[in-house]
Structure 1
Amino acid sequence: MEFCVEDSTDVHVLIEDHRIVFSCKNADGVELYNEIEFYAKVNSKDSQDKRSSRSITCFVRKWKEKVAWPRLTKEDIKLLKKVSTKRPPPAMDDLDFTTTVVSCCPAELQTEGSNGKKEVLSGFQVVLEDTVLFPEGGGQPDDRGTINDISVLRVTRRGEQADHFTQTPLDPGSQVLVRVDWERRFDHMQQHSGQHLITAVADHLFKLKTTSWELGRFRSAIELDTPSMTAEQVAAIEQSVNEKIRDRLPVNVRELSLDDPEVEQVSGRGLPDDHAGPIRVVSIEGVDSNMCCGTHVSNLSDLQVIKILGTEKGKKNRTNLIFLAGNRVLKWMERSHGTEKALTALLKCGAEDHVEAVKKLQNSTKILQKNNLNLLRDLAVHIAHSLRNSPDWGGVVVLHRKEGDSEFMNIIANEIGSEETLLFLTVGDEKGAGLFLLAGPPASVETLGPRVAEVLEGKGAGKKGRFQGKATKMSRRMEAQALLQDYISTQSAKE
């Protein structure tokens, strides 16, 4: 809350943990002073709006009832609430916050469904007087939470305003309780503070500049302006950041005005075009100061540990440094240990022998695949000769096998080598997906190939008397066969 004092000079308001202290000088230059003690609990019968709308003297009276409060010592000092409807912003570590609904309008949200496909949800865009839910920005995803127990599915920034997407409307002007999903918030705090630390150390040790970063669902990536990194550089960065975590360095957040000279000395990648208000600076004591709008831990010890998983090739000849921080490291270790136990049971050997055991399996698999391929080729030749010498040869020749591939079908077609007969070959699950090949007179294949693909609900292409492709409905093979036989019958009748 903000206050002003009328008819006075040199006004000072000091807010401490247990009291507010007021001091000023009157028109005669006499220094005046008063203080108001805080009490532990706000009267639960008063709404947040009711409390914040009073002058400070009335407001603090309600912290404890039936207490005699001293009046100010001079009549010419009047504490008034500054003419403003906006309260100070909530602290980042507030998990519950009471505020007012400003507006609620119908809206749509594009999201990804459980099947990986994009879906459009109908709902409402809710604007609050203020919020504790962080909107997406600065490389950090948005918070999740509730407004009066209604789930907030997305929070986005629009200038100074945060838009909350819900699927239930809220009445403008109503008082609401906003709650933060703390597990998601703390995870983002750990990853974001971890990124600041890694960025600062990489710059300090090797002059590697961060160009961007991404806080992913399972892992995070820092894009560094270098084409490559050595294993020694990665190890040195990981060792240094974890030493600073063990040193329990404080992380401080402060605000600077746009015209503050210190702004020029603070690192950052610039401000959004629609930025308004003070600049937020996040500082790791003795390590780094950076402009940032995101949520952060208050001490590096809250990160617990950082694990750098390695590097990947990035865009524009840059390198992505992949890392985990805090609880994500513990979850990664749990998954890795579970995988190790499962492999130990499957491979019948200890973890130290897993790599060698897998190599042996790979070599055995290659030999088996080679032998299987040779057998399939021999089988294809045998089938081709059998079909060629069959008394039913002519018209349309059909063959389906569950096992096989494109090479298997092409060997059969090559061995038969006839342009007088339509050869329709299929491999795969009889009721599922598979492959098909149509061979025969070029003109006939060119006409029938696309039609066969359509019947099998697949796609294909062809040339020089062959058309092959993928089918999604092998169960319709008989329909395709009937199509071919009707075509042959029609052609025979014309002749």
Structure 2
Amino acid sequence: MTERHYYHSDALQLQAQVLACQPLEDGNYALELDATLFHPQGGGQPADGGTLNGEPLLRLVPRGEDILHVVARPQPLGAASLEIDGRLRVLHARWHSAGHLIGYLGETQGWRPVKAHHWPGEGRITFMPGDGVKALEQAWLQEALTRLIAADLPRRQRQENGMRQVGFGDLPAYGCGGTHVRSLAELGEVTISALKMKKGQLVVYYDLR
């Protein structure tokens, strides 16, 4: 099992152990590690980037409880240095955390988030109407979102029934395996760009600057 350090650490460097190195059909190599800082694509969030022993990380492949790290050249078994692309990590964390806030605000008006896409330039949250649903206005959503960001609530996380729960301040926490900002002011300016109804679902589009 690959221990996922990004669950509980914001570090950008880690010393890990290469347990296995296997050639792939495309000429690259898949490394099995005992631990990682790299978040693989999933949960609506794109994968981290960076280097492993100075080699650019080409992709991450979840395999059961392991995460395979694909690089262009074989690496020896034993100690390995992992380094996260900090700029990319912060970017992805900002988009992901902004999506969580929008999901929460929709819930306060009776809308149930059913799908999220936190990719830079493509942010959107899809809602289904729930009990007691109210009209969700773009101006209200923007004002409420801006107010939460200005409050600069700190990130909090805990383990509950084996699941990592992530929230901010006294807002509800949600089961999540992704990366997030330390506090909401790090989000910067988040803009609600559009709301659209599609086949009975409400899609909220958002952007960051």
Q: TM over 0.5: same fold?
A: yes
2:193 pairs, out of 302, 306, 309, with 309
- Deviations 1:124-152 (CA, angstroms, capped at 9, x unpaired): 11111100001122111111110011011
Equivalence map 1:219-368=2 (5 Å): 219-226=122-129, 233-256=137-160, 258=161, 278-314=162-198, 316-325=199-208, 329=209
2:32 pairs, out of 118, 127, 132, with 127
Structure 2, gaps ≥5 residues long: none
Moved over 6 A (4+): none
2:81 pairs, out of 157, 162, 177, with 177
Contact 2:95 2:119 in 1 (8 A): no
| 3-state secondary structure, aligned to 1:307 | strand
Name the amino acid aligned to 2:115. S
Partners of 2:167 and 2:3 lie apart in 1 by 26
TM-score with structure 1 setting the length: 0.39
| 3-state secondary structure, aligned to 1:199 | helix
The reply on whether 1:97 has 2:14 as its aligned counterpart is yes
Partners of 2:4 and 2:46 lie apart in 1 by 24
Cα RMSD over matched residues? Answer: 2.1
**How many residues get paired?**
203
Contact 2:4 2:36 in 1 (8 A): no
**Alpha-carbon shift at residue 89 of structure 1 (Å):** 3.9
| 3-state secondary structure, aligned to 1:282 | strand
Equivalence map 1:39-50=2 (5 Å): none
Equivalence map 1:156-175=2 (5 Å): 156-172=61-77, 174-175=78-79
Question: Match for residue 93 of structure 2?
Answer: 189
Name the amino acid aligned to 1:128. L
Q: Compare the two structures and name the one with the higher strand fraction.
A: 2
Return the structure number with greater relative CO, CA threshold 8 A, min gap 6: 2
TM-score with structure 2 setting the length: 0.89
Contact 1:210 1:224 in 2 (8 A): yes
Identity percentage over the alignment? Answer: 25
Name the amino acid aligned to 1:105. Q
Name the amino acid aligned to 2:175. M
Partners of 2:27 and 2:197 lie apart in 1 by 39
**Alpha-carbon shift at residue 208 of structure 1 (Å):** 1.0
**Alpha-carbon shift at residue 280 of structure 1 (Å):** 0.5
Contact 1:132 1:178 in 2 (8 A): yes
Structure 1, gaps ≥5 residues long: 1-85, 109-120, 259-277, 330-495
| 3-state secondary structure, aligned to 2:28 | strand
Question: Match for residue 55 of structure 2?
Answer: 150
Contact 2:92 2:120 in 1 (8 A): no
